[in-house]
Structure 1
């Protein structure tokens, strides 16, 4: 398995190195952007149209980017891999910056603060704090940073002698939330921003618990080494931050602005 994983990682790096450069994108006349189909409030579909925080930023990017922007709305599971292999030029999504992901991807300046919390069913008295998560079934999205961050929760449980229970992986978070409501799960882990959106929509069904990770930040992603394209995206995002537009969109979609976000982040 270790040999296979190494071959896959090398393959991803090789293909990433062949991703279209900014010059090549200009020559062909369009940028290929991938966004997620169901990650509210960052990106989701409403009345057949892509909406949310990142989609509003994308609308602003279209005004200044030197060529046409073509958008593909896809499920999360194929998004980052598609960028790493050069299928898409950039993932305009709230992708958490992690040690594993920086092996094949480069990330823009952070777009929010998305520390991970757990959510449970409203009124479930069997879970009152972190120690009560021991042995219980947790739901996370497949291939997500939340999955990669589970060792941090285990470290918290170690202090009380507890162990993680069964981990169920889902294609999308709405599936996990449905199973939580139906008592097929005991809790779900996601970012505080996404969970606030969930509880706002269904306050009688779900409630938010405590943080289960240290600080985590999301950003846009390009293939490893695609420095010129990344520089243009960073210039755009920093301009949005300076003008106040980024904070305005954060407050609108994420529930609060994050004026003190760093201009770079190392996981």
Structure 2
């Protein structure tokens, strides 16, 4: 009976050790390996963020589509985008509904603590878009006492709030889930300006120069756009692989070509990790 008891305990211990080993393997899964096995990189984004991601003739277009096509080639996988309202994108990433986020999104200290960012792809300093038919917002400080729009849940919104707090008159801020709606309200005179990153509003102003113009200079602190993934241990391999792919794309001049195509000019961005200004 004693021997049987000892044998049972030994077997029980071996089973527990085996289960622990399997649990450890599961805990250290490799997201890059999963993506390569599936042959597909699934990317969450919002198709209302020109010139990075938007619809033209009912089809996705923009810098993100072109750049991720290059990334997919380097990784040897297809890229599939999932279109969501922006407030749903980061929660979707955390729920593991997709592998990473295109956005792109402004790199901030708070976000770096929560997510893993790729090498930046463009400058993202915040500026104002206003009506080309009026001169009442000639400089950023002129929004004092006026109504200004910005994207709900965006870093641009937070930068606008911080800037507005420094002005002598209250700024009424309207938050929009859809940037196109903010631009429509600006064209209709329901807001006097819209805050967004310089590449975004420069593109909008260039497309509709009779309706919109950019207010110079930008009012925000220097910032950069990047893609991001989860900060799980298993996600590090994917971000590292994408960074490696982007280095090849940048070194070959392909990134500069896409920046010129979609943003109007080549942009000098940090390589690898950097300390954001906000």
Indicate the SS of the match to 1:95.
strand
Residue 69 (str. 1) matches residue 79 (str. 2): yes
My pick for the range that moved more, 196-205 or 60-69, is 60-69
Q: Distance in 1 between matches of 2:212 and 2:80?
A: 37
Q: Deviations over 1:70-103 (max 9, x none)?
A: 3222232212221133111111222111233223
Equivalent residues, number = 247
1:162-220 Cα distance to aligned partner (Å, 9 max, x none): 14411111111110011011111111001111111111111111111131201110000
Structure 1 residue ranges, 4+ long, deviating more than 6 angstroms after superposition: 17-20
Shift of 1:239: 0.9
Equivalent residue, structure 1, for 2:257 = 248
Q: CA RMSD in A?
A: 2.1
More deviation in 120-129 or 89-98?
120-129
Unaligned runs of 5+ in 1: 1-16
> Which structure is larger by alpha-carbon Rg, 1 or 2?
2
Matched with 1:219 is: 226
The residue aligned with 2:23 is: none
Relative to the length of structure 1, the TM-score reads: 0.85
Q: Give how far 1:51 is off.
A: 0.9
Question: Following TM superposition, by how much is the alpha carbon of 1:123 offset from its aligned partner in structure 2, in angstroms?
Answer: 3.5
d(CA) in 1 for partners of 2:111, 2:29 = 16
Confirm or deny that 1:236 pairs with 2:245.
yes
In 2, the alpha carbon distance for the partners of 1:103 and 1:259 equals 24
Higher mean C-alpha displacement, 188-197 vs 129-138: 129-138
**Residue equivalent to 1:52:** 62
Unaligned runs of 5+ in 2: 1-26
Give the TM-score normalised by the residue count of structure 2: 0.82
Tell me how far apart the structure 1 counterparts of residues 143 and 242 of structure 2 sit (CA, whole Å): 40
- Tell me the SS of whatever aligns to 1:212: coil
* 1:130 Cα offset (Å): 2.7
1:157-176 to 2 correspondence within 5 Å?
157=167, 162-176=168-182
